[in-house]
Structure 1
Amino acid sequence: MLDVAAAQVSVIGLSGLSIGLLAERTRLSKSGLFSHFKSKEQLQLDVIDWTAELFAERVVRPALKAPRGEARLRALFDRKLRWDSGDLALPGGCFFYSVSAELDDAPPGPVRDRFLQAYRDYIDAIATIFRTGITEGQFRPDADPEQYAFDIQGVLMAFHHASRLLGDDRAEARARAAFEALLDAARI
């Protein structure tokens, strides 16, 4: 159920997801789904948790198997590109970019708060992986891991928009060039 819900959210957004739509897509009864989720808000919370775990399973944990530092950062970047528009992607691309555009101006509340925590966990993972590159002596000791995470996230968001919205055939090459430039600037 939640796989179908995550795929739908990647295309139509979190607010477009309803128990009725999920019932239609899964061919399950609305009453059965309602008894499981109890509310649209609970469905939204569950799909955020599900997709965060799916992201960790497909992107983060496999990247953590790479050697510490630059190799691990490179593995995370590569897998994130695949999550946005490659073999790891949902139909609408990155769930997190779809939902972030929808929730960026939403008032605080359980759904926005849960989403922000999942998104921050991902940004923190980038900074942590970069930080290990510093401790491994691969990056400058004065480099700022949070700034690097910000910069990488900017590259990845630009890639997402260029590839999915603009249909730019060079989006991946551009993203990889920007990634390499950021790595070059951080190396000792």
Structure 2
Amino acid sequence: MDQVDGRRLRGDASRRVVLERAADLASVEGLDGLSIGRLAAAADVSKSGVATLFGSKERLQLATVEAAAQRFREHVLEPARVEPRGVRRIAALLDAWIAYSRDRVFPGGCFFAAALVDFDAKPGPVRDAIAAAYRSWNDYLRISVGYAIEQGELDAGTDAALLAFEFVALLDAANAQSVMSGSAEPYALARRAIAPRLVAAGAPDDVVRRFLEVDDLAA
């Protein structure tokens, strides 16, 4: 029994390592191009070993999306949850997302921005998984804005869905421009664009000031 458990533990560890490499690779080369053979070469493991772990290209891609979503949660959602629900958590989420892209948690920038381009017009389980993960982030941000409105930290007339949409659009644009240019300047510009939207919605000055004080060029 111990022998079986040991094999399972080693298999789980191998799976995690391979998926980490898969997510990194897909963020640069595209999820659609990720295959058992390509991953085996990049991760320096046998094709049969990767095939044993995942079975098919589609299952590999689905597992990679879930691994990427978990890494996103660890770097963006979980750090922000130290702040109470409301404006401070919104600022923490935006700041964590910028750091996630700026610091290249995935070598190619935001994994999901790249994956959406790959699969936006390709129906199927992989597209559905990518869309669900991206929607989950959008919904979390929108719900966070809603809490701030309910708590009186943002103006009652604030459109939570619209404000969250604007935030996501600015973050995605900063990611795309930074990946293309190799510069952190787009993140500083995103902060400067986000701050007036927070102010217009009634966010406290101290929260907006701390958000703006982060120096993305020096980070």
Does residue 116 of structure 1 match 2:116? no
1:105 matches 2:125: no
Q: 1:187 to 1:167 in 2, by over 3 A?
A: same
Query: Would the alpha carbon gap of residues 99 and 170 (structure 1) be closer, same or farther in structure 2, given more than 3 Å must change?
Result: same
Q: Aligned residue for 1:60?
A: 77
Residues of 2 paired with 1:56 and 1:176: CA distance?
A: 21
Equivalent runs, 1:33-182 vs 2, <5 Å: 33-86=50-103, 89-106=105-122, 108-182=123-197
In 1, Cα distance between equivalents of 2:89 and 2:43: 37
> In 1, are the aligned partners of 2:175 and 2:187 still within 8 Å (CA)?
no
Aligned residues: 186
Q: Distance in 1 between matches of 2:69 and 2:159?
A: 26
TM-score by length of 1: 0.94
Tell me by how many angstroms 1:71 deviates: 0.9
**Which residue identity does 2:143 align to in structure 1?**
T
Runs of at least 5 residues in structure 2 that lack an aligned partner in the other structure? 1-17, 204-219
Distance 2:133 2:187 in 1: 25
**Structure with larger Rg:** 2
Give 1:101's aligned amino acid. V
User: In the aligned structure 2, how far is the partner of 1:167 from the partner of 1:26?
Assistant: 25
Which structure 1 segments of 5+ residues have no match? none
Secondary structure of 1:142 counterpart: coil
Distance of 2:171 and 2:100 partners within structure 1? 11
Question: Aligned partners of 1:126 and 1:168: how far apart in 2?
Answer: 26
Structure 1 letter corresponding to 2:114: S
- Which letter does structure 1 place at the counterpart of 2:193? A
> RMSD across aligned C-alpha pairs, in angstroms?
1.3
Between the two structures, name the one with larger relative contact order (CA 8 Å, sep ≥ 6).
Answer: 1
Please tell me the residue identity of whatever aligns with 1:22: L
**Identity score, percent:** 38
Once the two structures are superposed, residues 80-136 of structure 1 have per-residue CA deviations (whole angstroms, 9 ceiling, x without a partner) of: 0111121x5211110011111111222x21110111111100000100111111122
Over 2 Å off, 4+ runs: 166-170
One-letter amino acid of the counterpart of residue 99, structure 2: R
CA distance in 1, matches of 2:199, 2:28: 35
The one-letter code matched in structure 2 to 1:145 is A
TM normalised by structure 2 equals 0.81
Contact preservation (8 Å) 2:40, 2:46? yes
Q: Secondary structure at the match of 1:76?
A: helix
